[in-house]
Structure 1
Amino acid sequence: MNTDALDLMIIVPALLAGLLVLLTHVPLGAQVLRRGIVFIDLAIAQIAALGVIIAGVAELDPHSWTVQAAAATAAVLGAVLLTWTEKRWPDVQEAQIGVMFILAATAGLLLVAHNPHGGEHLQDLLAGQILWVRYDQLLLPGAGTLLICALLYRMGERLSRLGFYLVFALAVTASVQLVGVYLVFTSLIVPALAVRHYRPALRLWLAYAIGAAGYASGLVLSTLYDLPSGALIVWCLTLLAMLAYAAGPRAGVHSQPLRH
């Protein structure tokens, strides 16, 4: 362990990025569980990542708004397609989501096949580079997060099928570039799973607390032990969620879904 490596000035913007992700992903994750489409986040996140890869192939400035636009466009198109497939073949929607994830993932592999740095780029999109997030990178996602939170507060579970998919796509777009596909999935699903048997009044805030503690502990430990931040946050968040679930009430005691 290297205590000299613990630099809070590095951890703070990374933690803020994680908290921004959690603000939208915790309530969205609860809706994902309720709708029974658990792997939609992986599919939309992978499609958003494909948009980033396409922007790279087109040699767009990686720090410009055009990359965000490419990712958002890809995610929205994926959301529209998933809305159509759910309406036409609702009984196999989860399978269709899985197919879309595989197609987006393999399309990314094909696009970077001749790029000498393609493997590194793919790893960054999957595992993320949260520890190196800068304050200026949080401005646009922060504005988007406020808008999405306001919409979720006003509409919540009254969102239509298309509305839910579009909001979900926009939330995931910014998150993928901040924290990577793995943390997007973890932030959506793990806190919601941990608190599903708690009283409805506690679920949202407990889920936020689990997520924040997972990000904070993962960032600190990854800095101390020089380990990949994204992967360690996934493990810390999941372990904390398991503890919260084990300490909670028995299944069936409270059955109302988590609400924002």
Structure 2
Amino acid sequence: MSGFDFMIVVPAFLAGLLVLATHIPLGAQVLKRGIVFIDLAIAQIAALGVIIAGVGELDPHGWAVQGAAAVAAGLGALLLTWTEKRWPEVQEAQIGVMFILAATAGLLLVAHNPHGGEHLQDLLAGQILWVSYDQLLLPAIGAAVILAVLWIFRGRLSRLGFYLVFALAVTMSVQLVGVYLVFASLIVPGLAVRHYGDRLRLPLAYLTGVGGYAAGLVLSTIYDLPSGALIVWCVTLLAIAVYAAGPKRNKF
């Protein structure tokens, strides 16, 4: 790999580290609460906010777009809080409905845009390989705030507090790495380590995510393949190996 390629990979890898920093502990909470598809729903709603901002011809890299995504994700979090309180027995189904509504709303909004399909593809698969250092400042600040909140409350966040923190994390990450990598970063490492002891679970989850991002970025640069899709596969394959090497669950 050439030096030029290496310089491209560095900011992309840092972006992956920022995403993993918050998504690994949040993903553990998602698995514990049994609301696995909340990340897809909130990510898609944040992406819808970006699309709405694009329809308004706002600067795609400006603060207004970040604000639109944050407002959309926050409103989605408030709605999910209300639905979980009102109809908790069907919360997972309601999350699925919100996801499909946000996804189809995005399709309708870009239907007459000649570049709409490309924009949707970028939001789903991401463009992590082309992340710049300037784009990392706001996510770094946000990640520090989120980690501080998670450390202070240590699993004692209220339903509303959890959804709002989750919405903030997803709002920042979806524009860095795309919806697919948001889901993979949240869920796959947590699945890999679920049978490990408490002391090993979090470190191994981080190692799984970091290793998958590193391998995916390097391989995508060498073989000129889509980075986001390849990282998803690398994280998943590494997670399978970590799970297979771990303690076996007693079937009896």
Q: Answer yes or no: same fold by TM over 0.5.
A: yes
Offset of 1:156 from its aligned partner? 2.3
Matches within 5 A, 1:79-158: 79-158=77-156
Q: Residue type matched to 2:138 in 1? A: L
Q: Is the 8 A contact 1:197 1:252 kept in 2?
A: no
Q: Residue type matched to 1:109 in 2? A: L
Q: Residue type matched to 1:40 in 2? A: I
Which residue is 1:198 aligned to?
196
- Identity of matched residues, %: 79
Q: Is the 8 A contact 1:29 1:192 kept in 2?
A: yes
Runs of 5+ consecutive residues of structure 1 not aligned to the other structure = 254-260
Q: How many pairs align?
A: 251
Which residue is 1:177 aligned to?
175
CA distance in 1, matches of 2:214, 2:146: 24
Q: Residue type matched to 1:14 in 2? A: A
Q: Residue type matched to 1:179 in 2? A: V
1:62 to 57, 60, 63: 60
Q: How has the CA–CA distance of structure 1 residues 25 and 14 changed in structure 2, closer, same or farther, with 3 Å as cutoff? A: same
Secondary structure of residue in 1 paired with 2:36: coil
CA distance in 1, matches of 2:40, 2:250: 28
Secondary structure of residue in 1 paired with 2:14: helix
Which residue is 2:10 aligned to?
12
Offset of 1:171 from its aligned partner? 0.2
Structure 1 residue ranges (4+ consecutive) displaced by more than 6 angstroms after TM superposition? none
Deviation per CA, 1:221-243: give whole Å up to 9, x if none: 00000000000000000000000
Secondary structure of residue in 2 paired with 1:113: coil
1:46 to 44, 60, 63: 44
Q: Residue type matched to 1:118 in 2? A: G
Deviation per CA, 1:199-251: give whole Å up to 9, x if none: 10011111000000000000000000000000000000000000000000012
Runs of 5+ consecutive residues of structure 2 not aligned to the other structure = none
Q: When the two structures are superposed, what TM-score results if normalisation uses the length of structure 2?
A: 0.98
CA distance in 1, matches of 2:84, 2:248: 33
Deviation per CA, 1:162-199: give whole Å up to 9, x if none: 00000000000000000000000000000000001001
RMSD after superposition: 1.1
Secondary structure of residue in 2 paired with 1:32: helix
Which residue is 1:224 aligned to?
222
CA distance in 2, matches of 1:156, 1:223: 38
CA distance in 1, matches of 2:153, 2:206: 20
Offset of 1:71 from its aligned partner? 0.1
Secondary structure of residue in 1 paired with 2:149: helix
CA distance in 1, matches of 2:249, 2:231: 27
Deviation per CA, 1:124-170: give whole Å up to 9, x if none: 00000000000000000100000000000111210000000000000
Secondary structure of residue in 2 paired with 1:231: helix
Q: Is the 8 A contact 1:5 1:224 kept in 2?
A: no
CA distance in 2, matches of 1:69, 1:11: 28
CA distance in 2, matches of 1:4, 1:152: 39
